[in-house]
């Protein structure tokens, strides 16, 4: 979908990402298996690997049930792969060029950045709740990243994972449809593995300027709307930005005490 020259996924757009890459930070290795209630007797053998997968799957199925999200058996291998590749130093930051920033006292009001043209894998969901949409959308991306692609390999992770959201005209309500997006690592930008799932779309986003404001806390619908309106108040010329399309960027574990997120405003006429 084209919005005033900026491509933001194939559709328009509660509490937090449930089954996300960042959730896996806190459940790696023995800890994840302990949470799932499993003892792995032979970690290196076939039986141990199967128990490992089943333990992680059971853990995430339990989380999913609490939030009315079905985590199917086919997610076992992607969850295990994400867990084994969950070290932060193994993730590539989406590259950008800082242009400027505005501060008040010690508070960063916003940072202006230039992002270059890049390919993103995108999934658009329109579930009854924001929470369900983001969870189900990211699980589709997980499968694409974890070998369910034309290259048959684990593609590697980039940060942040972004969620494109849309509001009503008064910015008091999020629309139900959201797009979850993952920037392809640098090595796959020119020759991009194609997804097996037709709901995962590879899109080339043009170069664009965004204004980013950091915030901490779980990405609830209420907090997202609050942060959108706070950034709008701090911009010198808010009319220069898209008025109903915004991006929520997530960088770390939503269950951590100090979660780091950003609201992005997209510069455009």
Where do the structural domains in the chain lie, given as residue ranges? 2-18+89-267
Which band of pLDDT confidence, cut at 50, 70 and 90, is reported for residue 31?
very low
Q: H/E element holding 54?
A: helix 46-66
On the question of pLDDT at 189 being above 50, the answer is yes
pLDDT of res. 60: 67
Which of these ranges, 20-29, 56-65, 76-85, has the smallest mean pLDDT?
A: 20-29
On the question of pLDDT at 140 being above 70, the answer is yes
pLDDT over 70 percentage in the chain: 71
CA distances from 145 to 43, 77, 109, 151 (A): 24, 11, 34, 10
pTM passes above 0.85? no
Residue 109: exposure state from Cβ atoms within 10 A (0-12, 13-18, ≥19): middle
On the question of pLDDT at 193 being above 90, the answer is yes
Q: Most confidently modeled of 13-17, 70-74, 253-257?
A: 70-74
Distance, in Å, from the CA atom of 247 to the CA atom of 180, rounded to the nearest integer, reads 10
Which band of pLDDT confidence, cut at 50, 70 and 90, is reported for residue 130?
confident
Query: Who wins on pLDDT, 202 or 260?
Result: 202
Q: Taking the chain, what is the end-to-end CA distance rounded to the nearest angstrom?
A: 16
On the question of pLDDT at 95 being above 60, the answer is yes
Average pLDDT, integer, range 30-39: 36
Query: Who wins on pLDDT, 39 or 9?
Result: 9
Q: Report CA torsion sign: 220, 246, 20, 65.
A: positive
CATH number of the 2-18+89-267 domain: 3.20.80.10
CB atoms within 10 A of CB 172: 9
Give 203's strand partners.
120
Distance, in Å, from the CA atom of 45 to the CA atom of 93, rounded to the nearest integer, reads 34
Q: CA 84, 22, 164, 145: dihedral to nearest 10 degrees?
A: 0
Beta strand 2-3 pairing with 6-7 = antiparallel
């Amino acid at each position: 979908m084209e919005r005033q020259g900026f491509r933001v996924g194939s559709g328009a757009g509660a509490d937090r990402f449930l089954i996300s890459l960042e959730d896996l930070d806190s459940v790696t290795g023995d800890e994840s298996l302990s949470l799932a209630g499993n003892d792995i007797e032979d970690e290196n053998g076939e039986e141990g690997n199967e128990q490992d997968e089943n333990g992680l799957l059971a853990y995430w199925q339990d989380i999913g049930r609490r939030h009315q999200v079905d985590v199917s058996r086919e997610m076992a291998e992607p969850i295990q792969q994400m867990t084994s590749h969950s070290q932060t130093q193994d993730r590539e930051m989406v590259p950008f060029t800082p242009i400027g920033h505005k501060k008040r006292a010690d508070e960063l009001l916003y940072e202006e950045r230039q992002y270059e043209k890049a390919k993103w894998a995108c999934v658009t969901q329109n579930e009854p709740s924001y929470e369900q949409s983001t969870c189900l959308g990211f699980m589709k991306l997980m499968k694409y990243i974890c070998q369910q692609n034309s290259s048959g390999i684990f593609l590697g992770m980039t940060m942040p994972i972004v969620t494109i959201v849309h509001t009503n005209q008064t910015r008091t309500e999020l629309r139900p449809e959201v797009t979850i997006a993952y920037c392809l690592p640098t090595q796959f930008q020119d020759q991009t593995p194609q997804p097996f799932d037709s709901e995962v779309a590879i899109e080339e986003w043009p170069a664009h300027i965004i204004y980013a404001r950091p915030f901490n806390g779980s990405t609830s619908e209420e907090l997202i709307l609050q942060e959108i309106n706070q950034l709008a108040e701090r911009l010198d010329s808010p009319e220069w930005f898209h008025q109903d399309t915004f991006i929520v960027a997530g960088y770390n574990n939503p269950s951590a005490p100090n979660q780091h997120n950003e609201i992005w405003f997209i510069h455009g006429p």
